Structure formats: structure tokens, C-alpha cells
Amino acid sequence: MTPEIDCVQSDLRELRWTDDTVVADFTIPGDEHNVLRVLFANHSVIIRILDEMPLNTENEGAPKEGLVPHHFAYRVEGATFEKTQSETWKFTQHPATHYRFLTGWTCLDVLSAKEPVFQVVKRIPISTFD
């Protein structure tokens, strides 16, 4: 079961990208032992990571239909990120879907022809500061 995540209290903890897999680990507020892993495996993706603040100016005038306060994960249609990608990539990966993961500090956008897999996994220290 995927935990309810208050996006304001969460953050992107780690992103790993290998030849065919993108793995993003997000903190689960109130759970210091586990992370929510979002996995895009065995296929081509386009990603971007940015501070969530620029999103407020990226789509000025665009409807905010479907936005839910403190919600973490979305399927997005018509955003600038998707519209500005290579037409060739979009054609070869059709139908690609735009997924957006928002936290209080970070936005992870992913274009993928396949749905992500969500897992709650044990949190592993990534540095001596953890």
C-alpha cells in the first residue's frame, strides 16, 4: 500500500539513473526508517528536476484543474515541459505520459511511455550527514 504523503513535508531524497532505470526516493513525513521509491524501469524517459517555485510562473493563465492541496503525485496534460520535448521522441514513445511529483522543495517531472512503480523501501544512509 502506498502511504499518503503530504507533499509540503516531503522531499526528493535521492535520484539514481542507470542505463534503463530511473529511481527516485522521497522522504515519507513521520517515517525516518523508510522512503517512497518511484521507479521507471526498462524504458526511455525524459526527466527534469527543479525547485517547485518556477512552476508558478511557467504556466501563467493555464487552468489549475485537478490540483489538490498538499498532493504529491499527478498525471499532467498540456504542461510546458511536455509540449517542448522532441517531437521525434514523443512519436517513438507514444503514448507518453507526463508524471509530476511535488514536494515542499522539489518538483520531479518525468515523461514516460510506461507507468511508474511505487514501493516503500528501507531508508539507506546516503552520506555521513544522514
Which pLDDT band, with edges at 50, 70 and 90, does 19 fall under?
Answer: confident
Residue 38 has pLDDT above 70, yes or no: yes
Residue count (the chain): 130
pTM listed for this prediction = 0.84
Q: Name the H helices within 5-125.
A: 55-58, 80-83, 87-92
Of the chain, the percentage scoring pLDDT greater than 90 comes to 48
> What phi, psi does 56 have (nearest 5°)?
-65, -25
